[in-house]
Amino acid sequence: MKLSEKEINFSSIKERFLSHVSMPKDNFQCWTWRAAKMKSGYGVFGIGAKATYLAHRVSFMMFVGPINDGMEIDHICHVRWCVNPSHLRPATHKENSSRPLFGGVAKINSSKTHCKRGHALTHNNLLRGQAKESYRSCKACHRQRNRIYYINKVKSQHQKEVV
């Protein structure tokens, strides 16, 4: 069973955690996580029977303090396997995903003024997502895709009726 982050006894796991970290002599460089990593490059650390936690989150909680609800831990250094607490900061998902490097896609897309077909992304030609506030789409392109879909659907139904 996975413990909530508030239930973890960090003093009992600190030595084992640090045994997986390569620390440079100065504190300004990245602390490299040398143990298990996800395909995305983030380190993972096992606590308890089968529970794994992101290593940078464990490092932040161990050396800085608890992480508030709704907050993520952002790597200021942009190195996913870094667990140096001085390179980590709490951030909202929007702040974390709009950073200019690695994951700056949201920021790039939000600054676009025209779609890939040249339509202006102005207020009256913009569809906004209901599930995701950050979702933006060109209304003219959306209408064109729907029109083509409808025409193809009518054609396929007509062909079925003829046969």
pLDDT band at 63 (very low <50, low <70, confident <90, very high): very high
Average pLDDT over residues 105-131: 80
Q: Is the pLDDT of residue 101 over 60?
A: no
Q: Which residue has the higher pLDDT, 93 or 59?
A: 59
> Looking at residue 26, what is its pLDDT?
82
Tell me the three state secondary structure of residue 90: strand
- Which residues 6+ apart lie within 8 Å of 88 measured at CB? 56, 59, 60, 64, 73, 74, 75, 76, 82
In DSSP notation, 18-65 reads: HTTEE--SSTTSPPEE-S-B-TTS-BEEEETTTEEEEHHHHHHHHHT-
| Structural domains of the chain in order of their starting residue, each with its CATH number | 1-96 (3.90.75), 112-163 (no CATH)
Other Cβ atoms closer than 10 A to 138:
21
pLDDT band at 14 (very low <50, low <70, confident <90, very high): very high
Q: Is the pLDDT of residue 1 over 60?
A: no
Q: Which residue has the higher pLDDT, 158 or 138?
A: 138
**What's the pTM value of the predicted model, to 2 decimals?**
0.61
Q: Is the pLDDT of residue 56 over 90?
A: yes
Do 76 and 89 meet the contact criterion of CB atoms below 8 Å apart? yes
101-104 contacts, C-beta under 8 A, 24 or more apart: 102/78
Q: Which two tokens stand for residue 158?
A: 């007509």
Sequence length of the chain is 163
Q: Measured between alpha carbons, how far is 108 from 101 in angstroms, rounded to an integer?
A: 10
Q: Measured between alpha carbons, how far is 114 from 157 in angstroms, rounded to an integer?
A: 36
> Looking at residue 105, what is its pLDDT?
60
